[in-house]
Structure 1
Amino acid sequence: MPLRFALNHMVCPRKSLRDFLALAQALGVAHVEIRNDLPGPITDGTSPETVKAEAAAAGVSIVSINALQRFNQWSPARAAEAAELVGYAQACGAAAIVLCPVNDLTFQPDEATRLAGLREALSGLAPMLRSAGLIGLVEPLGFAECSLRSKREAVEAIDAVEAADVFRLVHDTFHHHVAGEPALFPDRTGLVHVSGVVDPSVPGESMRDPHRVLVDAEDLIDNVGQIEALLAGGYAGPISLEPFAESVAALEDPRPAVEASLRYMQTEHNKKAA
């Protein structure tokens, strides 16, 4: 069975939106994630209607805008930022918004305050998402300094505010490995991010975004195993390639490398299914 792949714009962050969509079309990948942290449509004033038309012309769907940053540090300013991004996502035809927690040492509240803030943010976001018909994709990050490392904490907070209808998890294979959390929650997952690490000299606690490459046979963090476990648990959503390494970003023509990664993961999946 073909895996349901998606491309995050990080596969070619220096290419224009049009070139990124053309890459997805050329590879036969029907789903993309656009970003608001790269030079492009959301930051350069391009209308969401133009983005929607270009995606339609390329024959791809926009599965998410990545991302509302520091979402769990809720404030009137964050709420206004969220409302603007929700409006853009709805108008461009995106299905969801990725929600990234605060990930630095400047935000270190006590445990009760941290979890209360998470619930407050989810409660503030839920009516916006419901009104727009969007999903909020909560992405715990595995780094030790992150304010939300655990998928279990995210699920418990979503349930506490009775908002399972509008929130799902992002299972990021890199962050899952770094966090060391064994639970997968495939039934609560709305999107999977995949990237590989191939440098054996980097211990898990030292892994950072620049180590994240396209998944291939040298991968050290068991992307294939994670994908298969999620699928076995019932996950049927997109598997989105999200590398951050400079070696990927610098590719003048990313198609061969991306195509090879897609082929590798599909081949390994076929072996498991045989």
Structure 2
Amino acid sequence: MINRSKISLNRIIYPRLKLEDFFKFVKDLGLNKIELRNDLPGGKIIDSYTPGQLKELSKKYGVEILTINALQKFNLTAILPETIKELKKLINLSLSIGCKAIVLCPNNDVNDKRSSEEIFKETVKALKSFGPLFKDSGLWGYLEPLGFEECSLRSIITAMKAIQESGYPVYKIVHDTFHHHIGPDTFEIIKNNYGIFYTGLVHISGVECNIP
């Protein structure tokens, strides 16, 4: 059984709940970690709180902020300057609220015509560009491969290789159960090719099936 101290709740499970109520909800469940998001209704990561107020809430309820989810389209060179600006904002916010990591989501677009070689090179380029920012801030970058067919980064193996190629030990991988289910990585592939120490976070997501 997983120790409760290792379990975190992502705010997406109750997106319309006010942030303080979410903190209380987490505490009432006997948990002490959360993930924040920048894609919820209203578009504000910390609602209308100041960073100082949010740190007080964290202290009040004994809740640690693990990540902000997410920096989108991180591996698209065409918008890399804008992505770096957004990352700097997320890093500054993370530092001000005691957040440990920022989730990096790849470009997920059916109109992405890049070859697999181009995508890998652009993924590595992005990680090399972000590396000094994560290193200087002391934060982690968590790559989250998405299993969708159109996604530019579907495999945790490819993500691991991109991290290795970047040369920056500031990255980990988010292994999502839903995206694993629909993605290309089989148990044997992972067993034979993946270093488990690259996993920074596991997302336990629901997968529907037709089994009675």
TM over 0.5: yes
Q: Deviations over 1:7-60 (max 9, x none)?
A: 000111110111111110101111100111113642755322222221121101
Q: 1:61 to 1:89 in 2, by over 3 A?
A: same
The answer on whether the counterparts of 1:16 and 1:40 sit within 8 Å (CA) in structure 2 is: no
Unaligned runs of 5+ in 1: 202-217, 219-274
**Cα RMSD (Å):** 1.8
Q: 1:43 to 1:6 in 2, by over 3 A?
A: closer
Q: Deviations over 1:231-274 (max 9, x none)?
A: xxxxxxxxxxxxxxxxxxxxxxxxxxxxxxxxxxxxxxxxxxxx
Paired AA for residue 86 in structure 1: I
**What TM-score does the superposition give when structure 2 sets the normalisation length?**
0.89
Q: Secondary structure at the match of 2:146?
A: coil
Q: Deviations over 1:158-209 (max 9, x none)?
A: 111111x2100001011011103021542110000002223418xxxxxxxx
1:148 corresponds to 2:169: no
Which structure carries more relative contact order (alpha carbon 8 Å, separation 6+)?
1
Tell me the matched-pair count: 201
Q: Tell me how far apart the structure 2 counterparts of residues 172 and 53 of structure 1 sit (CA, whole Å).
A: 30
The answer on whether the counterparts of 1:17 and 1:40 sit within 8 Å (CA) in structure 2 is: no
Question: What is the aligned counterpart of 1:189 among 196, 199, 202?
Answer: 199
Give the aligned partner of residue 5 of structure 1. Answer: 7
Deviation, 1:134, is: 0.3
Q: Which moved more, 1:19-28 or 1:49-58?
A: 49-58
Paired AA for residue 197 in structure 1: V
**What TM-score does the superposition give when structure 1 sets the normalisation length?**
0.69
Give the aligned partner of residue 177 of structure 1. Answer: 181
Q: Tell me how far apart the structure 1 counterparts of residues 109 and 90 of structure 2 sit (CA, whole Å).
A: 23
Give the aligned partner of residue 31 of structure 1. Answer: 33
Q: Which moved more, 1:134-143 or 1:65-74?
A: 65-74
Q: 1:140 to 1:181 in 2, by over 3 A?
A: same
Q: Secondary structure at the match of 2:152?
A: coil
Unaligned runs of 5+ in 2: none
Identity of aligned residues (%): 39
Deviation, 1:130, is: 1.0
Q: Deviations over 1:47-91 (max 9, x none)?
A: 222222211211010010011011111421111011111111111
Q: Tell me how far apart the structure 1 counterparts of residues 47 and 19 of structure 2 sit (CA, whole Å).
A: 11
Q: Tell me how far apart the structure 1 counterparts of residues 209 and 157 of structure 2 sit (CA, whole Å).
A: 29
Runs of 4+ in 1 over 4 A off after TM superposition: none
Give the aligned partner of residue 48 of structure 1. Answer: 51
Paired AA for residue 190 in structure 1: G
